[in-house]
Amino acid sequence: EVQLLESGGGLVQPGGSLRLSCAASGFTFSNYAMSWVRQAPGKGLEWLSIISGSGGSTNSADSVKGRFTISRDNSKNTLYLQMNSLGAEDTAVYYCAKGGWSSVFDIWGQGTMVTVSS
């Protein structure tokens, strides 16, 4: 079964950092681009960042460029999102999703909640 499982969310103070992980199973992880998408409480979906299957290419939304870094470890079938300089506007459920480069987001994880608050 194809599955994505996020972890690493929680409560963080403004200006703080957090690293999210997304463990993949059921498919050849290194063959696929992977993305992060977030959803603020009661709001819509916002694409954040994408990384190619090899990890050699990335792209990010302007809202997180310079603050968030996407990476992957294909030996561990795991995707990461390093988030720095967090603000209240970053409070959201963070989803990892398979695809997004030349394809759609066909598989989604269950999401992990990040709350930025003092």
Partner 1 sequence: EIVLTQSPATLSLSPGERATLSCRASRSVSSYLAWYQQKPGQAPRLLIYDASNRATGIPARFSGSGSGTDFTLTISSLEPEDFAVYYCQQRSDWPRTFGQGTKLQIK
* Site residues for partner 1 per CB under 8 A: 35, 44-47, 50, 59, 61-62, 95, 100, 102-111
Largest CA distance in the chain: 40
Structure tokens at 40: 């603020």
For the bound state, the minimum distance from the C-beta of residue 30 to partner 1, rounded and expressed in Å, comes to: 21
Q: Which is nearer to partner 1, 8 or 111 (CB)?
A: 111
Q: Which is nearer to partner 1, 53 or 111 (CB)?
A: 111
Q: Which is nearer to partner 1, 20 or 50 (CB)?
A: 50
Is-contact 109 97, C-beta < 8 A? yes
For the bound state, the minimum distance from the C-beta of residue 99 to partner 1, rounded and expressed in Å, comes to: 9
Sign of the C-alpha dihedral, residues 37, 40, 45, 49? Answer: negative
Which residue is listed with tokens 């994408």?
50
For the bound state, the minimum distance from the C-beta of residue 107 to partner 1, rounded and expressed in Å, comes to: 8
**Cross-strand bridge partners of residue 80:** 21, 71
